[in-house]
Amino acid sequence: MSARYSELTSLLRRAATLRSVGELLAWDQETMMPAKAARFRAEELAAIAELAHQRMTEPRIGELLAECEADLALVVDPVVAANLRDVRRDYERVRKLPPDLVAEMTRTSSLALEAWKAARAADDFSAFRPWLERQIALARRKAEAYGPPPGGEPYDALLEDYEPGMTAAQLEALFGPLRDRLRPLIAELAAGDGRPTALETLVVPQERQRELNRFVLSRLGFDLDAGRLDVSTHPFSSGIAPGDTRITTRYRDDGFLDSLGSTLHEAGHALYEQGLPKDDGLGLPLAEPASLGIHESQSRLWENQVGRSRAFWTWALSEARRILGAALDPFDLDDFDRAVNRVRPSLIRVESDEVTYNLHVLLRFDLERALVRGDLAPADLPGAWNDRLHADLGLRVPDDRRGCLQDIHWSMGAFGYFPTYTLGNLYAAQLWGAAREMLPDLEPSIARGDFSLLLGWLRREVHAHGRRFPAGELCRRISGRPLDHAPLIGYLKAKHARP
């Protein structure tokens, strides 16, 4: 390998090393940090972010990049060529943001986040509105600095941070037909009184729940010597560094299925992080996830296609009985199947089932796109939210706390993030369909508690590539077709068809 390419990769590794220090500080903030440390932690994080930004924008990177791109002996290697393509993309992009805008976005986000927490607790949208207006103005400035793609709109430039190559128009074409098919499906499936089953609210000591989560995690193939499972209010995962991937879950005495579901979701993210070629490639695009949508496909696949399947519970029921004890005696496989697959429209996105979930996301996509375009005034957000939720899920929103104030994203200025949740569900269904075709023993192996067939397949088809292929191309390579709503709708219909 050329000396220039080696120097380039070591500069990128230096920048990635600082980012990983920031990740570790952020993990600590969510899990261990005493409350009074919050103000200084913000300074620490800002200091690291500034240094990392400096390292990523170093002119030397630009020089080396240009020399490597011109080196024909180097670019003939497709892996190197893919790395150079994305290093160029990232380098140009990060340099388009003026440092004062970056600083203002960081400051505003940390203040707006606190304002949002207070406004949500007090159910007071008017207290959050000025912060929302500032965040929208900053998002527009950011979109202008990046510049939308030819023929595109400002929202596309924001989306590019999370789902490279995707546009609002493409999302609209994917999401419109999805919404048209989900609404009648939900009307059909959500019959019944909607109350949780006895299994869903069964009281189980949290220590036992923790043991079950850890047992399942290790059986899935999560390397606990290269990671951790901890507790936080909002479960998350963090691929901090080579050999260090951490996830969290949450516990309630009467919520062991929720805790296991969260663990499976975050485990999916974590297995992806543990499967990326970071040891040698830290800092290079090919050691990074393809997109947030692909990241979410991994979490959703383990949480839903695996964790809500009859095959999974065929194995897991006896293990759950062994670990959780006699409390489970009255329940059989059918009870588990029903409990994890109950469809019920609800107000809160993060508590919703796998069928109604996407309508929550589509609502947010349409509203945030209208906010960025200026078609929707921030003052009109609560009304627009409530009307849409009623149209889609038939529910009246009693207060903004359970309406437009429920999510953290807009307070952090993360416009363009929400669509990646539904993209994740679409990619997951399409990948799952491909896995079932290619692996005849897939479901029998899961029913035996052997997850190595599925994990090995994901490692080969998805994880090992990092960002080598854009998300849409990766999906097409694996499944043989472009991303589409049909596999998700087909999967949901097949699973929920009752004899």
Residue 276: C-alpha distances to residues 25, 261, 283, 459 (Å): 22, 23, 12, 8
Q: How many residues does the chain have?
A: 499
Determine the Cα–Cα distance for residues 224 and 447; give it in Å rounded to an integer. Answer: 23
| Of 401, 362, 357, 409, nearest in space to 382 by CA | 401
The distance of closest approach from Cβ of residue 266 to Zn ion in the complex, given in angstroms and rounded to an integer, is 7
The closest alpha carbon to 129, from 383, 365, 346, 388, belongs to 383
- Euclidean distance between CA atoms 212 and 217, whole angstroms: 8
> In the complex, what is the shortest distance from the CB of residue 424 to Zn ion, in angstroms, rounded to a whole number?
7
Q: Which residues, listed in sequence order, are joined to residue 494 by a DSSP beta bridge?
A: none
210 HSE (CA, 13 A, CB side): 10
- Nearest-angstrom CA–CA distance, 183 and 175: 12
- Tell me, yes or no, if 266 is annotated catalytic: yes
Choice between 244 and 296, CB closer to Zn ion = 296
The Cα–Cα gap between 323 and 328 comes to 10
Rounded to whole angstroms, the Cα distance separating 290 from 309 reads: 27
Residue 305 CB, shortest distance to Zn ion, in Å, is 14
Give the CA dihedral 196, 202, 206, 207, nearest 10 degrees.
Answer: -140
Contact indicator for 115, 127 with CB cutoff of 8 Å: yes
Residue 303 beta carbon to Zn ion: minimum distance, rounded to whole angstroms: 8
Nearer to Zn ion, 347 or 428 (CB): 428
Least gap, CB of 306 to Zn ion (angstroms): 15
> Which residue number, 331 or 417, has a Cβ lying nearer to Zn ion?
417
Piece of the chain touching Zn ion by CB under 5 A; list 296-304, 314-322, 362-370, 444-452 = 296-304
Considering only residues 206 to 245 of the shown chain, the ones binding Zn ion according to CB under 5 A are none
Q: Considering the candidates 163, 266, 296, 303, report the single residue annotated as catalytic.
A: 266
> Tokens 């839903």 belong to which residue?
304
Residue in the shown chain whose Cβ atom is closest to Zn ion: 299
Single out the residue of 281, 210, 201 nearest to residue 241, CA to CA.
281
- Residue 230's DSSP bridge partners are 248
* Least spacing, CB of residue 233 vs Zn ion, in Å: 15
229: β partners: 247
Residues numbered 88-147 forming contacts with Zn ion, rule: CB under 5 A = none
Stretch near Zn ion under the rule CB under 5 A, chosen from 39-47, 209-217, 226-234, 291-299: 291-299
**Are 426 and 357 a contacting pair, CB within 8 Å?**
no
CA-wise closest residue to 190 among 358, 342, 347, 304: 342
CB 336, min distance to Zn ion, A: 23
CB of 296 or CB of 392, closer to Zn ion = 296
Say whether residue 299 binds Zn ion (CB under 5 A).
yes
Nearer to Zn ion, 167 or 237 (CB): 237
Q: Judged by CB under 5 A, which stretch of 255-263, 299-307, 332-340, 351-359 contacts Zn ion?
A: 299-307
Query: Which residue is associated with the tokens 């939210």?
Result: 385
Binding mask 242-281 for Zn ion (x = CB under 5 A): ----------------------------------------
Question: What tokens does 418 get?
Answer: 């929400």
Closest to Zn ion by CB, 263 or 299: 299
Q: Would you say 300 and 428 are in contact if contact means Cβ atoms under 8 Å apart? A: yes
Closest to Zn ion by CB, 142 vs 269, is 269
348-407 residues in contact with Zn ion (CB under 5 A) are none
Q: Is 307 helix (H, G, I), strand (E, B) or coil?
A: coil
Q: Which residues, at least 6 apart from 359, have a Cβ–Cβ distance to it below 8 Å?
A: 179, 182, 183, 186, 392, 393
Stretch that binds Zn ion, among 219-227, 298-306, 339-347, 445-453 (CB under 5 A): 298-306
Query: What span, in angstroms and rounded, lies between the C-alpha atoms of 66 and 84?
Result: 9
Contact 108, 411 (CB under 8 A): no
Shortest Cβ distance from residue 417 to Zn ion (Å)?
11
Q: Which is nearer to Zn ion, 209 or 299 (CB)?
A: 299
CB contact at 8 A, 246 and 27: yes
CB-wise, 259 or 299, nearer to Zn ion? 299
Give min distance, CB of 269 to Zn ion, in A.
Answer: 6
Summarize as ranges the residues that interact with Zn ion (CB under 5 A).
Answer: 296, 299
Catalytic residues, which ones?
Answer: 266
